[in-house]
Structure 1
Amino acid sequence: MKKIYSEQELIDMTIKQLEQTSIYEDQYEQYVRRPFRTDFYDDLSPYVQVGKRGYTLQMYERGIQMLNKLTKEEEDVIYWIIEDTIHIIAHLNLLRKYKVDNINTHLKYTKEITKELTTAMNKAFYEIGGIYQEWHEANRRGALENPLK
């Protein structure tokens, strides 16, 4: 029988991977913990429930559950959280760089900005390497978020 890891074990394993990147800082731990919250669901963000049978991947949009999928693979959970966290960090870095907050001032998502975001994410996954880099390059997040696969 495959071991089912606790929320804290998954968080620790995820942080260990993210610490290999040049963009991760301790202040971003909140984004690694966010998928385990149950009091509020951000739109299209990963959420994970740990159960006896495995890990339930969940996603909501405007309060409506869009994904509810069981996996027994902790690597799926870790990758899903890494992908989301790296995207958040790369985006926050762009907001800082261009001195915008996306509330009062807004980032214009030009081809150049999108390329900067993609480049930052690709660099972080390159620094992690291994299966997580391969999955990023193969758009595994899309497969994880497809309820039929």
Structure 2
Amino acid sequence: MEKIYNEQEIIEMTIQLFKQTSMYEEQYEQYVRRPFRTDFYDDLSPYVKVGKQGYTLQMYERGVQMLNKLTQDVEDVMYWIIEDTIHITAHLNLLRKYEVDNKNTHLKYTKEIMKELTTAMNKTFYEIGGIYQEWHTANRRATLENPLK
């Protein structure tokens, strides 16, 4: 059995991946830490519990658990977290660029905006490279979030 990393080790390794990108800003590190919170579960966000048998990937929607899946591969966990972090960061950068807050003013999710989001994510995964870029291209997040696979 492979080494089971603790929460802090996973956070540090994932932040190191994120630091390899032009998208990295220290303020966004909170999104790398968020999957280990237990006080509140955002809808459809990754959550991870570390245990003796491995890592349990969890996801909630409206307070109902939608995913509870065990993996022993820390790379799965890191990819899941970095993919979500990059998505959030790319989205926040678009909100900043178009000077909207999605509370009082709203971003219109046109084809062009969605293309900008996709392009930013692809560029960021290109900067990380390796298996993470391959998994992003192959949409591994969908596989990780499928309870049957």
Q: In structure 2, how many angstroms separate the alpha carbons of the residues matched to 1:138 and 1:46?
A: 19
Tell me the TM-score normalised to structure 2 length: 0.99
Q: In structure 2, how many angstroms separate the alpha carbons of the residues matched to 1:6 and 1:63?
A: 25
Q: Deviation of residue 128 (structure 1)? A: 0.1
Percent pairwise identity:
83
Q: Which stretches of structure 1, 4 residues or more, deviate above 2 A after TM superposition? A: none
Q: In structure 1, how many angstroms separate the alpha carbons of the residues matched to 2:20 and 2:3?
A: 25
Counterpart of 1:134 in structure 2: which amino acid?
Answer: E
Q: Deviation of residue 118 (structure 1)? A: 0.2
Structure 1, unpaired ranges of 5+: none
Q: In structure 2, how many angstroms separate the alpha carbons of the residues matched to 1:83 and 1:65?
A: 20
Tell me the matched-pair count: 149
| 1:18 and 2:18 matched | yes
Give the equivalent residue in structure 1 for 2:70.
Answer: 70
Q: In structure 1, how many angstroms separate the alpha carbons of the residues matched to 2:136 and 2:29?
A: 21
Structure 2, unpaired ranges of 5+: none
Q: Deviation of residue 12 (structure 1)? A: 0.5
Q: Deviation of residue 116 (structure 1)? A: 0.2
Counterpart of 2:126 in structure 1: which amino acid?
Answer: Y
Q: Deviation of residue 28 (structure 1)? A: 0.7
Give the equivalent residue in structure 2 for 1:107.
Answer: 107
Q: Deviation of residue 2 (structure 1)? A: 1.2
Counterpart of 2:109 in structure 1: which amino acid?
Answer: Y
Q: In structure 1, how many angstroms separate the alpha carbons of the residues matched to 2:20 and 2:134?
A: 16
Counterpart of 1:119 in structure 2: which amino acid?
Answer: T
Tell me the TM-score normalised to structure 1 length: 0.99
Q: Deviation of residue 48 (structure 1)? A: 0.1
